[in-house]
Amino acid sequence: MQSFLRLHDGALQPPSAPRCAETPRLPTLTSSPTLRQPLILPLQSLLQARAPRQLDWSAGEMNEDGKRHETATIKSHNDTETPNPIPFYLLHVSALAAIFTGVHAADLWLCLGLYLLRMFGVTAGYHRYFAHKSFKTSRVFQFILAFIAQTSAQRGVLWWASHHRNHHRFSDTAQDVHSPARTSFWYAHFGWVIDPKNHETDYDGIADFTKYPELVWLERNPYLPPVLLGIVVWLFAGWSGLVVGYVWSLIACYHATFCINSLAHVHGRQRFVTGDHSRNNWMLAIATMGEGWHNNHHAFPNAARQGFKWWEFDLSFLILRILSWFGIVWDLRHPPKEMVQGIHLPGPALMEKAAHQLLQDFADRLAKAREGWRVPTVEELRAIAIRNMPKNPHLDAILARAEELASEWMPAWLAQQTARQPG
Ligand SMILES: [Zn+2]
Ligand SMILES: [Zn+2]
């Protein structure tokens, strides 16, 4: 069986050319102007992605049978530019303008209302509809969803959804641009969003929506919805409405969304073996209208609901269900019953991914402890599995595959490293 693994050490490259190299490109999305380096450098150390580890493994995309697709890595066209966090920090400072405008009860209600509206746009729009197609709707409501989503100023809907699809393909591997396991926590939280190397939209990865010219138009004007919303808020609620209602809800929506990429891959519990570090976290689920059930979501990404149990509060799904009663959305997808009951058998692709995760966790442990590289014993892999994976009846099969992969790839990698040693 041909392995889907590639050692990510610069010598063994992914087999296919970067997909974006042949992607027809629309006009580049706006990127922030670069400020003077001396000012930026101290701030940047916060965001810096960790250098790729030599022992890093890259997983290719797999189909349902566990066979490896030709993979494509989203690569930068402007790798030399560096992330500039200043505008993002200035936005946070602008929230302090409330000292001058005052904070009224009506502004706080407006803030809550706009937070819920924007968060619904993020969860039901960007995420569950455009990235995962977990329900169906009309072309008109599809546009409305995209517009609402973009009022949260998280770039175009096609950009957001295509990047998110790659997150699921490569979650917590070197090709995942916002994995806290592979980069620094702050880079996974928001650094990747402002990093110019991630500003391209992978149009091939979202071809199912590029056929709608109105969505492409929105993509080309990503900040039109938030600017229009800001003008309306200012006209009807004045300066305090703009600062407290608009800016505070914008910042809250940013961090709630970013927490799913950062915290929801670090803190919480795993119910399902997903081959990544996704977690269920009830506090995040409340704050993000249901997105905190992130391990559930990684287990069945195409479900419109992310809270699988009755007590797993998922406000976005409740709203979608109400919308379905009026025929605004329909065909909401549900997770398979066997999965919710915990008797779902993982397919070959998932087993492969889980085996890969074990090897990656082993490599990370060696890198952390600065131990020499070696092929892991099955006992070492089992200890990692017990610590990092939820209990599952398929552990022995996952361990066997991990052992097989290790023996297939590590000797070649070791030989390469030895050949590279000076002298
Ligand atoms: Zn995730
Ligand atoms: Zn997702």
Cα(135) to ligand 2 centroid in Å equals: 14
Same domain, 275 and 353: no
**What is the per-residue pLDDT for 265?**
93
Q: What is the mean pLDDT of residues 407-415?
A: 74
Q: Which ligand is nearest to the CA of 294?
A: 1
Is the Cβ–Cβ distance between 281 and 268 less than 8 Å?
A: yes
Distance (angstroms) between ligand 1 centre and the Cα of 100 equals 39
Cα of 395 to ligand 2 centre, how many Å? Answer: 25
Examine the domain organization and report whether 214 and 93 are in the same domain. yes
Cross-strand partners of 6: 58
- Kindly state the tokens that stand for 14: 């992914």
pLDDT band at 11 (very low <50, low <70, confident <90, very high): very low
Would 68 be classed as within a structural domain? no
The whole-number average pLDDT for the span 55-82 is: 43
**Ligand minimally distant from the alpha carbon of residue 278:** 1
In a domain, 214, yes or no: yes
The most confident of the ranges 135-149, 171-185, 255-269, 409-423 is 135-149
335 and 382 fall within a common domain: no
How much is the pLDDT for 19? Answer: 35
Please indicate, yes or no, whether residues 225 and 240 belong to a single structural domain of this protein. Answer: yes
**How far away, in angstroms, is 164 Cα from ligand 2 center?**
6
pLDDT in tens, 287-319: 999 999 999 999 999 999 999 999 999 999 999
- Domains: count for the chain: 2
- Classify residue 137: in a domain, yes or no: yes
Q: Is the pLDDT of residue 55 over 80?
A: no
Q: Which long-range contacts (CB under 8 A, 24 or more apart) does 410-417 make?
A: 410/373, 410/374, 410/375, 411/375, 412/7, 413/7, 413/9, 413/12, 413/373, 414/373, 416/9, 416/11, 417/9, 417/54, 417/373
Report the separation in Å between the CA atom of 338 and the middle of ligand 2, taken as the mean of its atom positions: 21
67 part of a folded domain: no
Which ligand gives the minimal distance to the CA of 173? 1
Q: Which ligand is nearest to the CA of 132?
A: 2
Residue 423 CA to ligand 1 center (angstroms) comes to: 44
Q: How far is the CA of 402 from the centre of ligand 1 (A)?
A: 22
Q: pLDDT-based confidence at 239, cuts 50/70/90? A: very high
Specify whether the CB–CB gap between 209 and 159 falls below 8 A. Answer: no
List 68's β-bridge partners, or say none.
Answer: 62
Pair 283, 372 in one domain: no
Query: Do residues 107 and 187 share a domain?
Result: yes
User: Higher confidence at residue 288 or residue 363?
Assistant: 288
Q: Is the pLDDT confidence value at 56 over 60?
A: no
Of the listed ranges 92-101, 152-161, 328-337, 366-375, the least confidently predicted one is 366-375
Q: State yes or no: pLDDT of 247 exceeds 70.
A: yes
Residues 260 and 241 in one domain: yes
295 CA → ligand 1 middle, Å? 8
- How many Å lie between the centroid of ligand 1 and the Cα of residue 175? 13
∠ at Cα 366 (363, 369), nearest 5°?
Answer: 150
Q: Is residue 118 part of a domain?
A: yes
The pLDDT confidence band at residue 1, using thresholds 50, 70 and 90, is very low
| 302 and 188 within one domain | yes
Residue 33 has pLDDT above 50, yes or no: no
What's the per-residue H, E or C state across the chain?
CCCCEEECCCCCCCCCCCHHHHCCCCCCCCCCCCCCHHHHHHHHHHHCCCCCCCCCEEECCECCCCCECCCCCCCCCCCCCCCCCHHHHHHHHHHHHHHHHCCCHHHHHHHHHHHHHHHHHHHHHHHHHHHCCCCEECHHHHHHHHHHHHCCCCCCHHHHHHHHHHHHHHCCCCCCCCCCCCCCHHHHHHHHHHCHHHCCCCHHHHHHHHCCHHHHHHHHCCCHHHHHHHHHHHHHHHHHHHHHHHHHHHHHHHHHHHHHHCHHHCCCECCCCCCCCCCECHHHHHHCCCCCEHHHHHHCCCCCCCCCCCCCCCHHHHHHHHHHHCCCEECCCCCCHHHHCCCCCCCHHHHHHHHHHHHHHHHHHHHHHCCCCCCCCHHHHHHHHHHHCCCCCCHHHHHHHHHHHHHHHHHHHHHHHHHHCCC
The last residue of one of the domains, among 339, 358, 384, is 339
Q: Are residues 351 and 332 in the same domain?
A: no
- Cβ atoms of 288 and 266 within 8 Å: the answer is no
Task: Specify whether the CB–CB gap between 409 and 3 falls below 8 A.
Answer: yes
Ligand nearest to the CA of 280: 1
Residue where the block lists tokens 């709203």: 319
pLDDT, tens digit (0-9, with 9 covering 90-100), for 117-155 = 999 999 999 999 999 999 999 999 999 999 999 999 999
User: Is the residue at 50 inside a domain?
Assistant: no
- Angle of helix 86-94 relative to helix 37-47, nearest 10 degrees, comes to 80
Q: Does the pLDDT of residue 228 top 50, yes or no?
A: yes
| 218 and 132 within one domain | yes
Are residue 351 and residue 208 in the same domain, yes or no? no
Closest ligand, as measured to the CA of 261: 1
In sequence order, which residues have a C-beta less than 8 Å from that of residue 285 and are 6 or more positions away?
291, 292, 293, 306, 307, 312, 313, 314
Q: Please give the structure tokens belonging to residue 380.
A: 């070492």
Which tops the pLDDT comparison, 105 or 372? Answer: 105
Q: Given this model, what pLDDT does residue 300 score? A: 92
User: What spacing in Å lies between the alpha carbon of 417 and ligand 2's midpoint?
Assistant: 37
| Domain end residue (candidates: 339, 357, 372) | 339
Same domain, 326 and 360: no
Ion ligand 1 residue ranges (Cβ < 5 Å): 278
CA dihedral 89, 167, 291, 193 (to 10 degrees): 10
Mean pLDDT along residues 44-69:
43
Given 314, 339, 364, the domain boundary residue is: 339
75 lies in some domain: no
Give the percent of the chain with pLDDT over 90. 49
Segment 232-245 shows an average pLDDT of 97
Q: How far is the CA of 261 from the centre of ligand 2 (A)?
A: 10
Ligand 1 centroid–CA 298 distance in Å is: 6
Radius of gyration of the chain (CA): 22
Residue 76 lies in a domain: no
- Six-digit token pair at 396? 């022995």
**What's the pLDDT at 266?**
92
Q: How far apart are CA 149 and CA 117, in angstroms?
A: 9
CA 22 to ligand 1 centroid distance, Å: 27
pLDDT at 129: 98
CA 289 / ligand 2 centre spacing (Å): 14
Range of the domain at 16: 6-44+345-420
- Gap from CA of 100 to ligand 2 centroid (Å): 40
